[in-house]
Amino acid sequence: MKRALLSTVALFAVLTTNVVMAEGRTPPSPEKIKEMKTEMFKKIDTNSDGAISKEELAAAPVPKHADEQKAEKRREMAFEKIDANNDGSISLEEFLAVERPRKMQ
């Protein structure tokens, strides 16, 4: 369970890093984070049906230096973690419910 949570945080960190970098250096407000997450959701939801399928998540970009196999496993685990009602897709609500990674020590 702990490992799955860490993977979610790792995935989320990877996804948000791109957005934060695109947004500049200002620390984002909670509203901004929600907005960013919604944007991110829309980006991953390529067929715009309001839910992220496993396939869509698998197609989401990963950093080039990332180990493909590890990234794949992480995504699998993250998917299961985020999909709170286990219906096989991630709704925007479920996506927004993902906690922001705490500050790394």
**Which stretches of the chain bind Ca ion, using CB under 5 A?**
45, 47, 49, 83, 85, 87
Least distance from C-beta 15 to Ca ion, angstroms?
16
CA distances from 57 to 27, 41, 42, 66, 86 (A): 26, 10, 11, 16, 15
Looking at beta carbons only, is 38 or 47 nearer to Ca ion? 47
What distance in Å separates the CA atoms of residue 96 and residue 3, rounded to the nearest whole number?
A: 21
Looking at beta carbons only, is 47 or 67 nearer to Ca ion? 47
Residue type, 49: D
Least distance from C-beta 41 to Ca ion, angstroms?
10
